[in-house]
Amino acid sequence: MARFLARFADAPATRRTYAETLAVLTETAGGPGVPLDAAFTPAAAAAVMSRWAERSPATFNKHLAALRSLAAFCAREEWLTADPTRKLERRRAAARRDRAIPAARLEALLADGAHALRERVLWRMLYETAARAEEILTLDVGDLDTAGRRARVRAKGGAIEYVHWATPTARLLPRLLAGRSSGPVFCSDRRSPAAGSRARALADIDPATGRGRLSYPRAEYLFKQASMAHDPHGQGWTLHQLRHSALTHLAAAGRSAAELQAKSRHAHLSTLGAYVRLGEETAARITAEHDPHRRR
């Protein structure tokens, strides 16, 4: 399992999800000392997936993908002769058409000065760059080109790419950095422990303050809590919806598919389909513009 997870060193989000799944597999098997062919069986795989039986199809499929990827790896290494996940099926997820946040509601949240500076910079940067949350949270100060309003990120698969932001982020970012020249751009509120199970890698610690890098779960929690007041359903939004909203709003403004691909950095145009589908905000505008009782 350690060798399998080592393959995802350049994809921390995937590694984190896969590690969670494999931890459950290890627990189900009775501990790390059980031989692989006895620990990773069809019965064990089914028991692992029962942990997420009541969760959403997307969550279930995410963890099933981890088990299937491990099974394929073990087969290539000739550690297993049969696929332990062969009896498990992916769940069909209902398509969502409300991933994009209406621009007016989103701007009200982003412009709210009641929120901490760190969160305001993070949310603005995510929206204006249309980058993946993991890409922005793993930024170091040395990755920034503030004069060019861009940053160097490590994308999916380990590729080095650039993301670009606009004036609102450019105005807030110097206040967040406060003269720092190294360390994570987005730091946690507390100093990182120097030793123990919660100690971080030195690359994830700000040398000036000793604070660790802001984690994805913590950033996601803070955004969801802050956005509940702006979400008419009271559920709050996710960080990924900032990327989704940015691309949908650009599509609604008339940007071409090629331009959206340049902004999103998707490898194939076909993967943009989920983002460029104009949503209920566009439907509401069209309805209002063609209202027969509209004053001209």
pLDDT digit of tens for each residue in the chain (296 aa)? 889 998 887 777 788 889 999 999 999 888 888 888 888 999 999 999 999 988 888 889 999 999 999 999 999 999 988 999 999 999 886 655 557 899 999 999 999 999 999 999 999 999 999 999 999 999 999 999 999 999 999 887 778 999 999 999 999 999 999 989 899 999 998 888 777 767 777 778 888 888 899 999 999 999 999 999 999 889 999 999 999 999 999 988 888 888 888 999 887 777 777 666 655 666 676 677 767 777 65
Given this model, what pLDDT does residue 195 score?
73
Given this model, what pLDDT does residue 130 score?
94
Strand partners, 187: 213
Domain 103-284: homologous superfamily in CATH: Intergrase catalytic core (1.10.443.10)
Buried b (16+ CB within 10 A) or exposed e, 246-282: bbbbbbbeeeeeeebbebbbeeeeeebeebbeebebe
CA distance linking residue 66 with residue 286, whole number of Å: 43
Strand partners, 195: none
CA distance linking residue 29 with residue 4, whole number of Å: 17
Given this model, what pLDDT does residue 197 score?
67
What tokens does 187 get? 């730091």
Q: Considering only CA atoms, give the Rg of the chain.
A: 22
CA distance linking residue 62 with residue 52, whole number of Å: 10
Cα–Cα distance list, 261 to 5, 14, 247 (Å): 30, 23, 9
CB 59 within 8 A of CB 52: yes
What tokens does 121 get? 């910079």
Given this model, what pLDDT does residue 56 score?
84
CA distance linking residue 109 with residue 129, whole number of Å: 17
Which pairing describes strands 150-154 and 187-191: parallel, antiparallel, or unpaired?
unpaired
Q: For the purposes of burial, counting CB atoms within 10 Å of the CB of 133, is it exposed (0-12), middle (13-18) or buried (19 or more)? A: buried
Given this model, what pLDDT does residue 276 score?
65
Residue 159 DSSP symbol = -
Given this model, what pLDDT does residue 280 score?
61
Domain definitions of the chain by residue range: 2-76, 103-284
Cα–Cα distance list, 112 to 43, 106, 115, 120 (Å): 51, 10, 6, 8
Buried b (16+ CB within 10 A) or exposed e, 191-200: ebeeeeeeeb
Given this model, what pLDDT does residue 99 score?
78
